[in-house]
Amino acid sequence: MAGERTRIDAGVVVAFQDGEHRILHDGVVVVEGNEILHVGRGFDGTVDRTLDARRMLVTPGLINTHTHLSKCAAPRQKLPNPSPHHLDARRCVRPDLR
Protein backbone atom coordinates (compact mmCIF):
# COMPACT_ATOMS: atom_id res chain seq x y z
CA MET A 1 0.00 0.00 0.00
CA ALA A 2 1.54 3.32 -1.07
CA GLY A 3 2.05 5.77 1.75
CA GLU A 4 1.53 3.20 4.49
CA ARG A 5 3.55 4.07 7.58
CA THR A 6 5.30 1.10 9.18
CA ARG A 7 7.17 0.99 12.47
CA ILE A 8 9.87 -1.67 12.83
CA ASP A 9 10.92 -2.44 16.40
CA ALA A 10 14.45 -3.84 15.99
CA GLY A 11 16.81 -5.72 18.27
CA VAL A 12 19.74 -4.03 16.55
CA VAL A 13 19.79 -1.27 13.94
CA VAL A 14 22.97 -0.90 11.87
CA ALA A 15 22.88 2.38 10.01
CA PHE A 16 25.30 4.80 8.39
CA GLN A 17 25.44 8.43 9.53
CA ASP A 18 28.04 11.19 9.29
CA GLY A 19 30.47 8.97 7.40
CA GLU A 20 30.48 6.02 9.80
CA HIS A 21 28.42 3.08 11.00
CA ARG A 22 26.06 3.57 13.92
CA ILE A 23 24.82 0.67 16.01
CA LEU A 24 21.61 1.15 17.95
CA HIS A 25 20.34 -1.60 20.25
CA ASP A 26 16.55 -1.80 20.71
CA GLY A 27 15.98 0.83 18.03
CA VAL A 28 13.01 1.86 15.95
CA VAL A 29 12.85 2.40 12.19
CA VAL A 30 9.81 4.06 10.64
CA VAL A 31 9.17 3.96 6.90
CA GLU A 32 6.41 5.49 4.83
CA GLY A 33 6.06 4.16 1.31
CA ASN A 34 9.65 4.07 0.02
CA GLU A 35 11.06 6.64 2.46
CA ILE A 36 12.79 6.18 5.80
CA LEU A 37 11.14 8.70 8.14
CA HIS A 38 12.87 7.94 11.41
CA VAL A 39 15.68 5.93 12.97
CA GLY A 40 16.14 6.21 16.71
CA ARG A 41 15.26 5.01 20.21
CA GLY A 42 11.53 5.57 19.96
CA PHE A 43 8.80 7.12 17.84
CA ASP A 44 5.72 8.94 19.13
CA GLY A 45 3.93 9.39 15.79
CA THR A 46 1.08 7.32 14.44
CA VAL A 47 1.70 4.24 12.29
CA ASP A 48 -0.48 1.92 10.21
CA ARG A 49 1.30 -1.23 11.36
CA THR A 50 4.15 -2.39 13.58
CA LEU A 51 6.59 -5.18 12.77
CA ASP A 52 8.26 -7.03 15.63
CA ALA A 53 11.92 -7.47 14.67
CA ARG A 54 13.27 -7.37 18.23
CA ARG A 55 15.31 -10.56 17.64
CA MET A 56 16.61 -9.32 14.30
CA LEU A 57 19.12 -6.93 12.80
CA VAL A 58 17.65 -4.11 10.69
CA THR A 59 19.74 -2.17 8.18
CA PRO A 60 17.69 0.79 6.88
CA GLY A 61 18.72 2.09 3.48
CA LEU A 62 20.94 -0.90 2.68
CA ILE A 63 21.51 -0.90 -1.06
CA ASN A 64 24.86 -2.53 -1.79
CA THR A 65 25.28 -5.67 0.33
CA HIS A 66 28.72 -6.68 -0.92
CA THR A 67 30.32 -3.52 0.47
CA HIS A 68 28.16 -2.95 3.54
CA LEU A 69 27.96 -6.47 4.98
CA SER A 70 31.35 -7.80 3.98
CA LYS A 71 32.88 -6.53 7.23
CA CYS A 72 31.67 -6.25 10.78
CA ALA A 73 30.25 -2.81 11.58
CA ALA A 74 31.55 -3.18 15.14
CA PRO A 75 35.29 -3.67 14.59
CA ARG A 76 36.14 -4.17 18.27
CA GLN A 77 33.96 -7.26 18.47
CA LYS A 78 35.40 -10.42 16.95
CA LEU A 79 33.47 -13.23 15.33
CA PRO A 80 34.38 -16.77 16.40
CA ASN A 81 36.06 -18.50 13.42
CA PRO A 82 35.22 -15.70 10.97
CA SER A 83 34.74 -16.66 7.35
CA PRO A 84 34.18 -14.18 4.52
CA HIS A 85 31.53 -16.53 3.13
CA HIS A 86 29.55 -17.07 6.35
CA LEU A 87 29.18 -13.78 8.22
CA ASP A 88 26.52 -13.93 10.92
CA ALA A 89 25.88 -10.22 11.37
CA ARG A 90 23.63 -10.82 14.39
CA ARG A 91 26.54 -12.26 16.38
CA CYS A 92 28.79 -9.43 15.20
CA VAL A 93 26.75 -6.72 16.93
CA ARG A 94 24.85 -8.75 19.51
CA PRO A 95 26.69 -11.93 20.57
CA ASP A 96 23.88 -13.02 22.90
CA LEU A 97 21.57 -13.73 19.91
CA ARG A 98 21.76 -17.30 18.64
User: Residue 80, SS3?
Assistant: coil
Amino acid letter, residue 23: I
Going residue by residue through the chain (98 aa), what tens digit of pLDDT does each one get?
568 999 999 999 988 778 888 899 999 999 998 899 999 999 999 999 999 999 998 988 776 555 545 455 544 444 444 444 444 444 454 455 44
pTM of the model: 0.64
Greatest CA separation found in the chain?
A: 43
> Distance (Å, rounded) from C-alpha 74 to C-alpha 22?
9
